[in-house]
Amino acid sequence: MEIEDLDDVVSIENASFSKPWSRNMFLQELELKMSRNLVAKITEKSNTHIAGYITYWIVADEIHLQKIATGHDYRRSGISSRLMKEMIGKSVDNGCNRCTLEVGALNKNAIKLYKKFGFTVQGVRPLYYAERDEDALIMGADLKKCMKLIRHEP
């Protein structure tokens, strides 16, 4: 992710979340040493734009997924899976062992995505998403197990 990508990233963010991050929040992520920010770019008719993004932190030998989103026109097209694979692969290459995240308990599509990569529910944060009266599931995974799942995907 580059500063030039932020218009598209913020547009996807605003369409995806009830409490979206601001442009300044993404700028701060780009400056944080522990933050990693990736985008999926699509080229159509010689026009390149952002189809999705992922933001995660590396803390010691663990990663914490902060954000993942796909533009409306690209949902259910595999973009989020590709971003997850890239995050996992890069993190394992950097010596990371585990990943954690929070996800809305009612966000069935995201939960399905994370389970596909070997994430399991490890706890609950009651009313973590207070604005929508929703608990968060704390999910985690061993990244080496995630890599095995990725390698055996059809």
CATH number of the CATH domain containing 71: 3.40.630.30
Number of domains in the chain: 1
Q: Which residue has the tokens 């062992």?
A: 97
Q: Which residues contact 64 (CB under 8 A, 6 or more apart)?
A: 56, 57, 99, 100, 101
pLDDT for position 153: 65
pLDDT for position 44: 86
Dihedral Cα 150, 74, 66, 59, nearest 10 deg: 40
Tokens at residue 134, please?
């929703």
Largest CA distance in the chain: 46
The structure's pTM equals 0.93
pLDDT for position 151: 84
Q: CA angle, 144 as apex, 143 and 149 as ends, to 5°?
A: 90
Residue 150's CB is within 10 A of a number of other CB atoms, namely: 17
Residues of the chain with pLDDT under 70: 153-154
Within 13 Å and on the Cβ side, how many CA atoms surround 143? 24
**What is the identity of the amino acid at 76?**
R
The parent domain of residue 38 ranges over 3-151
Q: Which residue has the tokens 């995907």?
A: 153
pLDDT for position 65: 98
pLDDT for position 94: 92
Positions marked catalytic? 102, 114
pLDDT for position 1: 96
The Cα 45–Cα 29 span in angstroms is 31
At 121, is the secondary structure helix, strand, or coil?
strand
